[in-house]
Amino acid sequence: MDQLHELSATTSAAVTLTKPLHCIVKLGGAAITCKNELETINEENLNIVSSQLREAMIVGPCHGMDWSRRPGSSEIPTVVDDFDDQLESDSKKFIVVHGAGSFGHFQASKSGVHKGGLSRPLVKSGFVATRISVTSLNLEIVRALAKEGIPSIGLSPFSCGWSTCERNIAVADTLTVVKAIDAGFVPVLHGDAVLDSSQMFLAYMTAPPTEPGATLLREIAVREDGSWSVLKPELEDMSRSVEITVAAHDTTGGMVTKISEAAMIAKLGIDASIL
Protein backbone atom coordinates (compact mmCIF):
# COMPACT_ATOMS: atom_id res chain seq x y z
CA MET A 1 0.00 0.00 0.00
CA ASP A 2 2.94 2.34 -0.63
CA GLN A 3 0.74 4.39 -2.96
CA LEU A 4 -1.41 5.55 -0.05
CA HIS A 5 -0.12 9.07 0.70
CA GLU A 6 -3.25 10.86 1.92
CA LEU A 7 -5.49 10.59 4.94
CA SER A 8 -8.80 12.32 4.42
CA ALA A 9 -10.57 14.48 6.98
CA THR A 10 -14.20 15.46 6.64
CA THR A 11 -13.61 18.88 8.13
CA SER A 12 -10.88 20.00 5.78
CA ALA A 13 -8.97 19.12 2.65
CA ALA A 14 -6.96 15.91 2.55
CA VAL A 15 -3.89 16.00 4.76
CA THR A 16 -0.78 14.82 2.92
CA LEU A 17 2.09 12.87 4.44
CA THR A 18 5.64 13.89 3.54
CA LYS A 19 6.58 10.20 3.21
CA PRO A 20 4.48 7.24 2.06
CA LEU A 21 2.49 5.28 4.64
CA HIS A 22 3.45 1.62 4.33
CA CYS A 23 0.39 0.10 5.98
CA ILE A 24 -2.21 0.20 8.74
CA VAL A 25 -2.06 -2.76 11.14
CA LYS A 26 -5.22 -3.71 13.05
CA LEU A 27 -4.72 -5.81 16.18
CA GLY A 28 -7.92 -7.73 16.88
CA GLY A 29 -9.30 -7.34 20.38
CA ALA A 30 -9.92 -11.09 20.66
CA ALA A 31 -6.24 -11.74 19.84
CA ILE A 32 -4.55 -9.33 22.24
CA THR A 33 -6.99 -9.80 25.15
CA CYS A 34 -8.76 -12.74 26.74
CA LYS A 35 -12.20 -11.74 25.48
CA ASN A 36 -14.15 -13.85 27.97
CA GLU A 37 -12.23 -12.51 30.97
CA LEU A 38 -13.00 -8.93 32.00
CA GLU A 39 -10.14 -6.52 31.23
CA THR A 40 -7.51 -9.24 30.85
CA ILE A 41 -4.65 -8.77 28.37
CA ASN A 42 -3.21 -11.76 26.52
CA GLU A 43 0.36 -10.86 27.43
CA GLU A 44 1.92 -13.64 25.36
CA ASN A 45 0.13 -12.67 22.14
CA LEU A 46 0.75 -8.96 22.67
CA ASN A 47 4.47 -9.49 23.25
CA ILE A 48 4.74 -11.73 20.18
CA VAL A 49 2.98 -9.31 17.84
CA SER A 50 5.00 -6.37 19.20
CA SER A 51 8.22 -8.25 18.47
CA GLN A 52 7.01 -9.19 14.99
CA LEU A 53 6.12 -5.58 14.19
CA ARG A 54 9.59 -4.45 15.26
CA GLU A 55 11.21 -7.06 13.03
CA ALA A 56 9.00 -6.19 10.06
CA MET A 57 8.96 -2.40 10.32
CA ILE A 58 12.00 -1.11 12.20
CA VAL A 59 15.33 -0.94 10.38
CA GLY A 60 18.57 -0.90 12.34
CA PRO A 61 19.25 -1.04 16.10
CA CYS A 62 16.59 0.14 18.53
CA HIS A 63 16.24 0.60 22.29
CA GLY A 64 13.37 0.15 24.69
CA MET A 65 11.33 3.32 25.19
CA ASP A 66 9.18 2.46 28.20
CA TRP A 67 10.99 4.09 31.11
CA SER A 68 8.05 4.06 33.53
CA ARG A 69 7.29 1.62 36.31
CA ARG A 70 3.90 -0.03 36.01
CA PRO A 71 1.55 0.52 38.98
CA GLY A 72 2.02 -2.21 41.56
CA SER A 73 5.26 -3.43 40.01
CA SER A 74 8.59 -3.45 41.84
CA GLU A 75 10.53 -3.72 38.59
CA ILE A 76 12.76 -0.71 37.98
CA PRO A 77 12.71 0.40 34.33
CA THR A 78 15.97 0.19 32.38
CA VAL A 79 17.08 3.41 30.69
CA VAL A 80 19.69 3.16 27.94
CA ASP A 81 22.36 5.88 28.08
CA ASP A 82 24.39 5.11 24.95
CA PHE A 83 21.99 6.38 22.32
CA ASP A 84 23.44 6.91 18.86
CA ASP A 85 22.70 10.45 17.69
CA GLN A 86 22.92 9.56 14.01
CA LEU A 87 19.97 10.24 11.75
CA GLU A 88 16.92 8.00 12.07
CA SER A 89 16.97 4.77 10.10
CA ASP A 90 14.70 4.20 7.12
CA SER A 91 12.03 2.46 9.17
CA LYS A 92 8.64 1.99 7.59
CA LYS A 93 5.84 4.43 8.35
CA PHE A 94 2.79 2.67 9.75
CA ILE A 95 -0.22 3.03 12.02
CA VAL A 96 -1.50 0.57 14.62
CA VAL A 97 -5.21 0.30 15.40
CA HIS A 98 -6.48 -2.13 18.02
CA GLY A 99 -9.81 -3.49 19.13
CA ALA A 100 -11.11 -3.40 22.68
CA GLY A 101 -11.57 -7.14 23.27
CA SER A 102 -12.44 -7.65 26.93
CA PHE A 103 -12.08 -3.91 27.62
CA GLY A 104 -14.88 -1.37 27.18
CA HIS A 105 -17.56 -3.72 25.88
CA PHE A 106 -18.83 -4.65 29.35
CA GLN A 107 -19.13 -1.03 30.44
CA ALA A 108 -20.82 0.01 27.18
CA SER A 109 -23.25 -2.91 27.26
CA LYS A 110 -24.09 -2.50 30.96
CA SER A 111 -24.95 1.19 30.58
CA GLY A 112 -26.42 1.06 27.07
CA VAL A 113 -24.10 3.87 26.00
CA HIS A 114 -23.96 2.51 22.44
CA LYS A 115 -27.71 3.12 22.09
CA GLY A 116 -27.56 6.84 22.89
CA GLY A 117 -29.03 9.09 25.56
CA LEU A 118 -26.16 10.91 27.24
CA SER A 119 -28.66 12.97 29.21
CA ARG A 120 -29.32 9.90 31.37
CA PRO A 121 -26.96 9.56 34.37
CA LEU A 122 -26.38 5.83 33.73
CA VAL A 123 -25.41 6.39 30.10
CA LYS A 124 -23.13 9.32 30.95
CA SER A 125 -21.44 7.26 33.67
CA GLY A 126 -21.08 4.38 31.23
CA PHE A 127 -19.49 6.69 28.65
CA VAL A 128 -16.84 7.70 31.20
CA ALA A 129 -16.33 4.10 32.37
CA THR A 130 -15.98 2.86 28.79
CA ARG A 131 -13.31 5.44 27.96
CA ILE A 132 -11.38 4.64 31.16
CA SER A 133 -11.37 0.98 30.17
CA VAL A 134 -10.36 1.33 26.50
CA THR A 135 -7.71 3.97 27.13
CA SER A 136 -6.13 1.80 29.84
CA LEU A 137 -5.78 -0.98 27.24
CA ASN A 138 -4.33 1.50 24.75
CA LEU A 139 -1.65 2.48 27.27
CA GLU A 140 -0.61 -1.14 27.77
CA ILE A 141 -0.34 -1.72 24.02
CA VAL A 142 1.73 1.45 23.63
CA ARG A 143 3.96 0.15 26.45
CA ALA A 144 4.41 -3.25 24.76
CA LEU A 145 5.37 -1.64 21.45
CA ALA A 146 7.67 0.90 23.13
CA LYS A 147 9.53 -1.87 24.98
CA GLU A 148 10.41 -3.30 21.55
CA GLY A 149 11.84 0.05 20.46
CA ILE A 150 8.82 1.14 18.41
CA PRO A 151 8.19 4.89 18.94
CA SER A 152 4.51 4.40 19.71
CA ILE A 153 2.14 7.22 20.66
CA GLY A 154 -1.38 6.56 21.92
CA LEU A 155 -4.03 8.66 20.17
CA SER A 156 -7.68 8.49 21.21
CA PRO A 157 -10.37 9.38 18.64
CA PHE A 158 -12.34 11.33 21.28
CA SER A 159 -9.33 13.45 22.24
CA CYS A 160 -8.51 14.07 18.56
CA GLY A 161 -12.00 15.50 18.03
CA TRP A 162 -13.54 12.63 16.07
CA SER A 163 -17.32 12.30 16.11
CA THR A 164 -20.12 10.41 14.41
CA CYS A 165 -23.63 10.96 13.10
CA GLU A 166 -26.01 8.01 13.29
CA ARG A 167 -22.98 5.81 14.06
CA ASN A 168 -21.17 6.80 10.86
CA ILE A 169 -17.98 8.87 11.03
CA ALA A 170 -18.85 12.54 10.58
CA VAL A 171 -15.64 14.25 11.68
CA ALA A 172 -12.24 12.53 11.55
CA ASP A 173 -9.54 15.15 11.88
CA THR A 174 -6.36 13.28 10.92
CA LEU A 175 -3.99 16.24 11.33
CA THR A 176 -2.59 15.00 14.66
CA VAL A 177 -2.10 11.51 13.22
CA VAL A 178 -0.26 12.88 10.17
CA LYS A 179 1.97 15.14 12.27
CA ALA A 180 2.86 12.22 14.52
CA ILE A 181 3.83 10.04 11.54
CA ASP A 182 5.90 12.78 9.93
CA ALA A 183 7.70 13.31 13.25
CA GLY A 184 8.74 9.65 13.23
CA PHE A 185 6.18 8.26 15.66
CA VAL A 186 3.82 5.31 15.25
CA PRO A 187 0.26 6.37 16.15
CA VAL A 188 -1.70 3.76 18.11
CA LEU A 189 -5.45 4.32 17.77
CA HIS A 190 -8.29 2.32 19.26
CA GLY A 191 -12.02 1.78 19.44
CA ASP A 192 -13.34 4.65 21.52
CA ALA A 193 -16.49 6.28 22.86
CA VAL A 194 -17.14 9.47 20.88
CA LEU A 195 -19.95 12.00 20.65
CA ASP A 196 -22.66 11.39 18.07
CA SER A 197 -24.47 14.44 16.73
CA SER A 198 -27.76 12.58 16.28
CA GLN A 199 -28.03 10.42 19.39
CA MET A 200 -24.92 11.04 21.48
CA PHE A 201 -23.87 7.41 21.63
CA LEU A 202 -20.87 5.11 21.38
CA ALA A 203 -19.20 4.35 18.06
CA TYR A 204 -16.23 2.01 18.01
CA MET A 205 -14.07 2.96 15.34
CA THR A 206 -17.80 -18.62 8.69
CA ALA A 207 -19.05 -20.25 11.55
CA PRO A 208 -17.06 -19.64 14.73
CA PRO A 209 -13.83 -21.73 14.66
CA THR A 210 -15.01 -23.76 17.65
CA GLU A 211 -18.03 -25.05 15.70
CA PRO A 212 -17.83 -28.45 13.91
CA GLY A 213 -17.25 -28.11 10.16
CA ALA A 214 -16.01 -24.52 10.37
CA THR A 215 -13.95 -23.54 7.30
CA LEU A 216 -11.34 -20.80 6.94
CA LEU A 217 -12.34 -18.29 4.26
CA ARG A 218 -9.21 -17.47 2.25
CA GLU A 219 -10.49 -15.01 -0.33
CA ILE A 220 -13.60 -12.83 -0.57
CA ALA A 221 -14.73 -10.93 -3.67
CA VAL A 222 -16.40 -7.54 -3.19
CA ARG A 223 -19.03 -6.34 -5.67
CA GLU A 224 -19.66 -2.74 -6.74
CA ASP A 225 -22.61 -2.44 -4.35
CA GLY A 226 -20.43 -3.49 -1.41
CA SER A 227 -21.87 -6.99 -1.04
CA TRP A 228 -19.42 -9.88 -0.95
CA SER A 229 -19.11 -13.58 -1.70
CA VAL A 230 -16.60 -16.32 -0.93
CA LEU A 231 -14.10 -17.15 -3.70
CA LYS A 232 -11.78 -19.52 -1.85
CA PRO A 233 -12.34 -22.19 -0.78
CA GLU A 234 -15.24 -23.43 -2.89
CA LEU A 235 -17.92 -24.30 -0.38
CA GLU A 236 -19.74 -27.59 -0.93
CA ASP A 237 -23.11 -26.03 -0.11
CA MET A 238 -23.02 -22.59 -1.75
CA SER A 239 -26.60 -21.93 -0.66
CA ARG A 240 -25.59 -22.05 2.98
CA SER A 241 -24.78 -18.58 4.30
CA VAL A 242 -21.69 -17.84 6.35
CA GLU A 243 -22.57 -18.02 10.02
CA ILE A 244 -21.15 -15.26 12.20
CA THR A 245 -21.98 -14.97 15.88
CA VAL A 246 -21.67 -11.93 18.14
CA ALA A 247 -21.19 -12.10 21.89
CA ALA A 248 -24.00 -10.55 23.91
CA HIS A 249 -21.65 -7.96 25.44
CA ASP A 250 -20.00 -7.05 22.11
CA THR A 251 -21.19 -3.54 21.23
CA THR A 252 -19.21 -3.22 17.99
CA GLY A 253 -20.85 -5.85 15.80
CA GLY A 254 -18.29 -8.64 15.96
CA MET A 255 -16.82 -9.99 12.72
CA VAL A 256 -19.78 -8.78 10.64
CA THR A 257 -18.66 -5.18 11.08
CA LYS A 258 -15.01 -6.04 10.43
CA ILE A 259 -15.83 -7.78 7.13
CA SER A 260 -18.10 -4.92 6.03
CA GLU A 261 -15.40 -2.33 6.78
CA ALA A 262 -12.77 -4.42 4.97
CA ALA A 263 -15.13 -4.63 1.97
CA MET A 264 -15.42 -0.82 1.89
CA ILE A 265 -11.62 -0.57 1.82
CA ALA A 266 -11.37 -3.18 -0.94
CA LYS A 267 -13.84 -1.19 -3.06
CA LEU A 268 -11.25 1.62 -3.11
CA GLY A 269 -8.72 -0.74 -4.71
CA ILE A 270 -6.73 -1.26 -1.52
CA ASP A 271 -5.93 -4.84 -0.49
CA ALA A 272 -7.38 -5.71 2.92
CA SER A 273 -6.48 -8.84 4.87
CA ILE A 274 -8.12 -10.32 7.97
CA LEU A 275 -5.81 -12.68 9.88
Does residue 157 have a cis peptide bond before it, meaning omega lies within 30 degrees of 0? no
φ/ψ of residue 170, rounded to 5: -105, -40
Query: How far is residue 227's CA from residue 223's CA, in Å, rounded to a whole number?
Result: 5
pLDDT in tens, 150-209: 999 999 999 999 988 877 888 888 899 999 999 999 999 998 989 887 764 443 334 556
Closest CA relative to residue 142, chosen from 202, 178, 186, 201 = 186
Query: How far is residue 21's CA from residue 226's CA, in Å, rounded to a whole number?
Result: 25
**Mean pLDDT on 229-241:** 64
| Three-state SS at 118 | coil
| Model pTM score | 0.70
Band (pLDDT 50/70/90 cuts) for residue 60 is confident
Looking at every residue in the chain, the average pLDDT score rounds to: 80
Which of 107-133 are b and which e, b meaning 16 or more Cβ less than 10 Å from the residue's Cβ?
Answer: bbbebbbbebebeeeebeebbebbbeb
Band (pLDDT 50/70/90 cuts) for residue 246 is low
pLDDT in tens, 13-55: 456 788 889 999 999 999 999 988 999 999 999 999 999 999 9
Q: According to the model, what pLDDT value does residue 10 have?
A: 47
Which residues are bridge partners to 6 per DSSP? 16
Query: How far is residue 57's CA from residue 218's CA, in Å, rounded to a whole number?
Result: 25
**Mean pLDDT on 222-227:** 73
pLDDT in tens, 97-148: 999 999 998 998 888 887 788 888 999 999 999 999 999 999 999 999 999 9
